[in-house]
Amino acid sequence: MNILLIGGSGCFINNLIVKLNKEGHRVYLLTGSKYDDRPYQRVFEKYHFGYDSSSLNEIFESIHPDLTIYMGAYDTNFNWRKEEEEAVNYSSRTMNILMSYVMAGSGRFVYLSSQAVFGGNYENPITEDTEAGPVGYKSMVLSQAEEMCENYRRTCGKDIMILRLDHVFGIPESAEDAGDLCSRMIVEALYHYTITVDAAHIFSLLYVSDAVELLYRIATAKEHAYHLYHISSGEEMTEQELAKMIQMDLGYNVEIVPERRTEHRCILAGERYRAEFGGNFLCEPAKVIRKQVEHMKRYRRVFLYGEEKKKSLTERILDKAGGIWKVLIPFFENLICFVICCGLNQWAANSRYFARLDLYLIYVLIFAVVYGQQQATFAATLSVVGYIAQQMTERSGFEVMIDSTTYVWIAQLFIIGLVVGYMRDNITKLKREQKTERDYLSMQLQDIKDINDSNVRVKDALETQIVNQSDSVGKIYSITAGLDQYSPEEVLFYAAETIAQLMKSEDVAIYTVSGDSYARLFSSTSTKARVLGNSIRYREFGPLYEALENHKVFINRQLDEKLPLMSNAVYDELDHIQTIIMIWSLPWESMTLGTANQLVVISALIRSAVSRANRYLVALEEERYVDGSRMLDKEAFMGLVQAYMGAEKKGLTDCMVLEILYDTPADVKGISDRIASKLRMHDYVGILESGKLGVLLSNTNRKDAEVVIKRIEEIGLGCRILEDSEE
């Protein structure tokens, strides 16, 4: 049969490979890693591909396996140290393997699970009809993998089998392979000289050789009655008993530390398997554990520190002997062929037709072409010895040595042999370099394909983001365009609210610039956003002012508490700072260039609305003020009051409205000029709804209003604070 094994290196899969080879099957191996160089037993063909590779379909199509065995819970490609991350990888890769098998595979698919899908306490042996009770990420994802196999079996009609193996253990080959309960206890004993045990944990051990035998029996069976089987020895054991066996076999003092936990008895029932296929267990746990302890004790540095396993003296001698033998084989072949060539040359010398045939030259050429310059030189040397020996049978040695024909023949032999050998070596070198380059370029091509696939996924995701995401340009424009519905007096108030919504920040303040160095608070969304006060000298904020002056977004990477986390400016037509936007709260991960660019886009869109409102107010300036004074007419002033009061109710600003008390009739214009001299630049004087003179104090609370009232009283005028109902 053609059998495909899927899994990483380890004692389990290597034992399985040995068994399948012994039974005469052709074994293919999918290692699950692109650059896997771990030791495996000999197989017919290896495929170094990750489980998430798009080439799995082609692998199944080219092999057409009669049987596919996925190591699943015993796959050493998953180390489960970070269970949350590994759970995602395991699920996605198992799904890809199953999809590839269903789409292009053939034959039976066997998934190896374990007792880990049961996390609770079971008084009786667990049968196949018992529903899985996972506890933890690994247990949960193994259970989900079983469900995936079952769903594909039902929906696709494939022969998919699930085998749950009960506490498999074996003699590990590396630190990554030492993941079973027994190996973990031995490692703990070697490292800490203690073994922590759960006295309430009852289980059953299954040695890897028995697991392989029973697995092979069911996997290669022509028919099976069920799709789910338990394989278990059924022999009960506690962690305390196992620890005592390890303690005895180690041969030195190791302390057993009991750790009482909730009772946990988990033993799989194997009656269904034994009734259908029989079951004989050949290995006694005590003997195997003794061998395992001796092996791990001998190579303790391999399992404790991850060092490479040192070979024994015999193994090293055999390796050296094997290397020397590979070097000597061409020389032995050369000698054998030389003996044959001498015999043929003796025969050809007496032949009428082959007397002029130079067999020594042919012999040298053959070895030059096959092995290269080194063996050509050796063959030429042997040929010279053979030629001289043959000539000395007919002439004396002195005659042979003074014969110029001899030296011409020797020169001819060496020149032809060395030249052909040199050409052969260079051609071989070029082929090797071309193969290396081809492999490298193929690897790069595959990487480029993977990168391209990743880029396509990113592009699709970004396209979706542009259309749907809340911070896309389209959504930003649609939200900022909502400012057009407000009156010119309200635009800056609700601009702060809009920025807070788009930047996902609760603390936003907008300052309007007055003169060359002062900026006054116009609107804010929280108390924290007003921490700098109602008026600031923005030129004194060194790094902030420098960034805004250079038309850059200020990002507070030093987390200076006196500065906002991010700030940007809105500029007028002359490139002067008109408005400063300050954001006081942002998640650290949002303080990026992308968020800064987003703020630039938002500022540009808001600038459009603000500029439109300012142009409107400038155009109506002569109509809004009474006879060139600073006193607003009734319509303009009440519109401004309503805008401020509406913003105050939403927590965007503070304001107070004062009514001036004077005798009627009075010189209202003159009174307004006198009052204006006692007000700040951002306070307003105008006609109230009642016809009386009023004052709007922006960014002012009741306490601050008392100061202004005293100033007005100093010029002989009375005033009072208007409440909302009166306004």
Q: What angle do CA 462, 464, 468 make, to 5 degrees?
A: 120
pLDDT at 472: 47
Mean pLDDT over residues 605-629, rounded? Answer: 61
Pairing of strands 718-721, 655-661: antiparallel
Across 126-144, b (16+ Cβ under 10 Å) vs e yields bebeeebebeebbbbbbbb
- Residue linked to tokens 């601050």: 704
Pairing of strands 168-169, 206-207: parallel
Contact criterion met (CB below 8 Å) for 610 and 581? no
pLDDT at 612: 63
Q: Is 111's pLDDT higher than 90?
A: yes
pLDDT at 106: 79
User: pLDDT higher for 531 or 306?
Assistant: 531
Lowest mean pLDDT among 123-137, 219-233, 268-282, 315-329: 315-329
Mean pLDDT over residues 409-417, rounded? Answer: 83
Q: Is 311's pLDDT higher than 70?
A: no
Q: Is 475's pLDDT higher than 50?
A: no
Highest mean pLDDT among 228-232, 355-359, 471-475: 228-232
Neighbours of 611 (CB within 10 A): 16
Percent of residues, the chain, with pLDDT higher than 70: 84
Percent of residues, the chain, with pLDDT higher than 90: 4
> Is residue 70 very low, low, confident or very high in pLDDT (cuts 50, 70, 90)?
very high
Average pLDDT along the chain: 80
pLDDT at 606: 72
User: pLDDT higher for 110 or 440?
Assistant: 110
pLDDT at 161: 92
| Cα–Cα distance, 601 to 474 (Å, whole number) | 11
Lowest mean pLDDT among 371-375, 418-422, 456-460, 568-572: 456-460
pLDDT at 701: 79
pLDDT at 313: 59
8-state DSSP, 255: E
pLDDT at 433: 83
pLDDT at 619: 47
Q: Is 452's pLDDT higher than 70?
A: yes
- With 0-12 / 13-18 / 19 or more C-beta atoms within 10 angstroms meaning exposed / middle / buried, residue 390 is middle
Q: Is 621's pLDDT higher than 50?
A: no
| Cα–Cα distance, 660 to 670 (Å, whole number) | 13
Lowest mean pLDDT among 518-527, 550-559, 670-679: 670-679
Domains and CATH numbers, the chain: 2-305 (3.40.50.720), 319-437 (no CATH), 474-619 (3.30.450.40), 622-721 (3.30.70.270)
pLDDT at 138: 87
Contact criterion met (CB below 8 Å) for 28 and 63? yes
> Is residue 610 very low, low, confident or very high in pLDDT (cuts 50, 70, 90)?
low
Q: What Å distances lie between residue 366 and 316, 330, 373, 442, CA to CA?
A: 35, 12, 11, 35
- Residue linked to tokens 């006193």: 631
The whole model's pTM is what? 0.47
198-246 pLDDT tens trace: 878 888 888 888 889 899 988 888 888 899 999 988 888 888 888 888 8
Q: Is 616's pLDDT higher than 60?
A: no
pLDDT at 608: 67
Q: Please compute, for residue 506, the number of CA atoms within 13 A of its CA located in the half-sphere on the CB side.
A: 4
Q: What Å distances lie between residue 11 and 65, 391, 626, CA to CA?
A: 23, 64, 97
Pairing of strands 577-583, 566-571: antiparallel
- Compute φ and ψ for 196, nearest 5 degrees: -85, 125
696-721 pLDDT tens trace: 887 777 887 888 888 888 887 888 88
Q: Is 155's pLDDT higher than 50?
A: yes
Q: Is 474's pLDDT higher than 60?
A: no
